[in-house]
Amino acid sequence: MVAQGPTRRDFLRVTAVGAGAAVASGVLGRFDALAAYGAVPKLAGKTAIVVGSGFGGAVAALRLGQAGVQTIVLERGRRWDVNEAGSTFCAINEPDGRAAWLSNHPYIGANKHVTIPRYTGLIDRVEGDGIAAIAGAGVGGGSLVIGTFMPQPRRSSFQSVYPAGLSWDELNDVYWPRARAELNVTTIPDDILAHPQYKGARAWLDYIRAFGKTPERIPFLIDWDVVREELAGRRPAAQSRNRMQSMSHSEVARPPRSWRMTRGPSRKRGFR
């Protein structure tokens, strides 16, 4: 994936000196935060390589491109062309090869035991030291698979994990509100929560109340009108069926269609 037309020679030159990753990761903190997203004369003629096209890689590539840097994005996974029928991805509980990255078993869902064709599918699993992580694989990275819940961490949780140099206050005052506004993040509306299909979500809320707590609705990156269309049977059900989470939902709000998630309806096998 090429963000800004570098030649093969440019690519080889940069990889040969091992500079690609260094430029992509190091330059972002310099040059007045990339001249606040405009051209940076000092970077003219440079080429950067960004490895991975997830949230982090995509933003790094965007800012590098805006700074006038020739930018190559390397992505190991395939590009998924999302179709209108909602059959681009397999359903979470009806997994096929699309569900997992080079594995004979899916990594999420209720049917992890089933055998699936080994394919460059959507979700990878990396074993760590006492912990295993799952992650998206494909153009868009994790954006292909996220449940689209967008909660904001509490100050205490954030500060217990992140270094002191990262300001919770600044994120809270500026960046999280900006991201929510840009993405049009909203909580589940009452009419959808009341729908019979959302019995599971209501049960979770009741469960929390039964413990004497007050449940909060989590912000989602969802276009609820699409959910309404699905629930009314006017478009193929995607997130409003086969759900694994407390709040089932449908297509994401506003961002590109390629941000769709794994839990779409499909019984098709011909996904290659």
Ligand X SMILES: Cc1cc2nc3c(=O)[nH]c(=O)nc-3n(C[C@H](O)[C@H](O)[C@H](O)COP(=O)(O)OP(=O)(O)OC[C@H]3O[C@@H](n4cnc5c(N)ncnc54)[C@H](O)[C@@H]3O)c2cc1C
By C-beta, is 56 or 117 nearer to ligand X? 56
Distance between CA atoms of 198 and 193, rounded to whole angstroms?
Answer: 6
Q: How many residues bind ligand X (CB under 6 A)?
A: 26
Of 35 and 105, the one with the shorter C-beta distance to ligand X is: 105
Q: How far apart are CA 219 and CA 261, in angstroms?
A: 17
User: Per DSSP, what are the bridge partners of residue 101?
Assistant: 120
Our CA dihedral for 216, 219, 220, 223, rounded to 10 degrees, sits at 110
Q: Which of positions 148-167 make contact with ligand X (CB under 6 A)?
A: 148-150
Give which of 250, 265, 260, 177 is closest to 220, Cα–Cα.
250
Closest CA to 245 of 208, 185, 183, 198: 198
* Cβ nearer to ligand X, comparing 35 with 51: 51
Minimum CB distance to ligand X smaller for 53 or for 87: 53
Using CB under 6 A as the binding rule, whether residue 56 contacts ligand X is answered as: yes
Q: Is 131 left (phi over 0), alpha (psi -120 to 50) or beta?
A: beta
Q: Which of 75, 96, 230, 251 binds ligand X (CB under 6 A)?
A: 75
Interactions with ligand X, residue window 35-54 (CB under 6 A): 51-54
Looking at residues 101 to 140 of the shown chain, list those that interact with ligand X (rule: CB under 6 A): 108, 123, 134-138
Residues at the site binding ligand X, with contacts judged by CB under 6 A: 51-57, 74-77, 108, 123, 134-138, 141-142, 145-150
